[in-house]
Amino acid sequence: MAAYIIRRLLILPIILIGVTILIFGMLQVLGPVERSALYVRDIPKNEHQVDAIITRYGLDKPFYVQYWNWLVGTVDGATGERVGGVLRGDLGYSRTGREPVIDVLLRRFPATLELAAWAMVPVIGLGIWIGAKAALNHNKPFDQVARVLAILGWSFPTFVFALLMLLVFYAKLDWFQPGQLSTQFSQEVLQPGFTQYTHMMTIDSLLNLRFDIFLDSLRHLIMPVTTLMVIEVALLLKITRSSMLEEMRQDYVTTARAKGLPEKMVVNRHIRRNALIPVITVAGLTLAGLMGGVVITETVFNYPGIGSWAAAAAVSLDVLSMLGYALFTAVLLVIANLIVDVMYAVLDPRVRLS
């Protein structure tokens, strides 16, 4: 197991370097002139200035030179200072956010994390529960219904589902509203009387003992969380179901039954335990799905996370914001996948003991 984990850790830097190359490579579909615009806040009208920027930042140099400059930054000829450099945390200036990309990311990420965390709970709970129950009732009505629901959830376009929720619960019934907080509270949380410890509204409101704000933020979370859940639960359900079905056919299950163990014990101690090991790997996929899902969900529900910001950046071709966002989510997922792989190795005796 130790060898496996060390191998995973050794691969990590390779993947991270690959991720940066891929992101920077995508940028190359733009020409030097278009890319020169990324380095200035007011686009120069004079063509000489564009040329000057291209030479100054080496935008006409070979790919690997530009990539290196992008990673570690360039030395400004006039001041002798090092500017830029993704590795130094300088992701450039966000046009849509009107502040440095890194600041926007850090300010908006807690809201997204909060949304994803709230969605993760029902996704994993329901996915495992329905999936296991469907497998135990293989080909019975419960299984058939679960299967059709999974296909439906899988086929439902996120944005259509989100808009339908808005249609019914906002426009028609006015039970829930889009956004993160109601108007009166969204001003209040910015006042000095309210300390933002984590920038996650459901946690901050509790820490400030403001239960009215807590309930309000929950009310705003219901629609986006439901949307993410409906889309993501199908995958977990399917995998739990097939994993359970596979374990149910194993010899040790027959042995356990032959020994005369009560059926409940066979299911819970033998089948369920082993079947849930591969499900852990799906938790990583679910996180990836949620991080992708928030782009649409946050946009439709006008939720102030990094997803809605990324969508806005992509629409207005705010390149630096897009790249910063891509880098941020990619690093997040690479680390999450590593944790999942290590957990899998620890939990699965077949890997652990090899």
Partner 1 sequence: MTAASEPVVLRPGASDAGELRELTRLEKALGPEWARLLKGIVTNPLSVTGIVLIVLFALAAIFAPILAPPPNEMWNPMQIPRDGFRAEPQPPMSEWNKNSPMTVPWWYRNIWPRQEEWVHLMGTTSGQYDIWYGVVWGARTAFFASFVVTFATTLLGVIVGALAGFYGGWIDEALMRVVEIFYAFPFITGALILASLLTPLFGRSVWPATIALIIFGWTGYARQLRGDILTTKERDYVLAARASGAKDSHLMLQHVIPNAMFPTLVRISLNMGAVVLSFAALSFLGIGLPEGYADWGQVVSFARSWILTLDQYWYIIIFPGIALLLYGLGWNLIGDALRDILDPKLRGKKA
Structure tokens at 79: 């001041």
> Which parts of 165-194 interact with partner 1 (CB under 8 A)?
166-168, 170-172, 178
323 binds partner 1 (CB under 8 A): yes
Backbone angles phi, psi at 83, to 5 degrees: -120, 150
Kindly state the helix (H) or strand (E) to which residue 162 belongs, with its residue range.
Answer: helix 158-165
Least CB distance to partner 1 at residue 197 (A): 28
Task: Please tell me the number of Cα atoms within 13 Å of 12 on its side-chain side.
Answer: 18
Nearer to partner 1, 214 or 303 (CB): 303
The nearer residue to partner 1, 73 or 178, going by C-beta atoms, is: 178
| One character per residue 137-156, x = contact with partner 1 (rule: CB under 8 A) | --x-------x---xx-xxx
Task: List Cα–Cα distances, 292 to 11, 231, 232, 268, 325, in angstroms.
Answer: 24, 11, 11, 34, 11
Structure tokens at 325: 């966002």
Q: Which of 96, 94, 72 is nearest to 84 (CA)?
A: 72
Separation CA 36–CA 40 (nearest Å): 7
Among 164, 190, 215, 265, the residue binding partner 1 under the rule CB under 8 A is 164
Q: Measured between alpha carbons, how far is 134 from 269 in angstroms, rounded to an integer?
A: 18
In DSSP notation, 121-159 reads: HHHHHHHHHHHHHHHHTTTSHHHHHHHHHHHHHHHS-HH
Q: Which residue has the tokens 């591969």?
A: 278
DSSP H helical segments within 249-272, as ranges? 251-258, 263-265
Q: Give the C-alpha separation, 134 to 245, whole Å.
A: 9
Q: How far apart are CA 88 and CA 73, in angstroms?
A: 8
Q: How far is the CB of 26 from partner 1 (least distance, A)?
A: 5
First to last CA, the chain: 6
127 touching partner 1, by CB under 8 A: no
Q: Is 350 in the site for partner 1 (CB under 8 A)?
A: no
Sites for partner 1 among residues 273-312 (CB under 8 A)? 288-289, 291-293, 295-296, 299-300, 310-311
Site string for partner 1, 83-122 (x = CB under 8 A): ----------------------------------------
* CB nearer to partner 1: pick between 33 and 190: 33
Nearer to partner 1, 9 or 167 (CB): 167
72 vs 314 by CB, closer to partner 1: 314
Span interacting with partner 1, options 20-28, 44-52, 78-86, 203-211, rule CB under 8 A: 20-28
4 binds partner 1 (CB under 8 A): no
CA distance 122 to 235: 13
| Nearer Cβ to partner 1 (6/152) | 152
- Binding positions for partner 1, 238-277, rule CB under 8 A: 245-246, 249
Number of residues that bind partner 1 (CB under 8 A): 60
* Sign of the C-alpha dihedral computed for residues 41, 321, 95 and 87 taken in this order: negative
Place of tokens 């820490």: 207
Instruction: Name the minimum Å distance from CB 87 to partner 1.
Output: 17
Point out which residues bind partner 1 (CB under 8 A). Answer: 11, 14-15, 18-19, 21-22, 26-27, 29-30, 34, 139, 147, 151-152, 154-160, 163-164, 166-168, 170-172, 178, 245-246, 249, 288-289, 291-293, 295-296, 299-300, 310-311, 314-315, 317, 319, 322-323, 325-326, 329-331, 333-334, 337
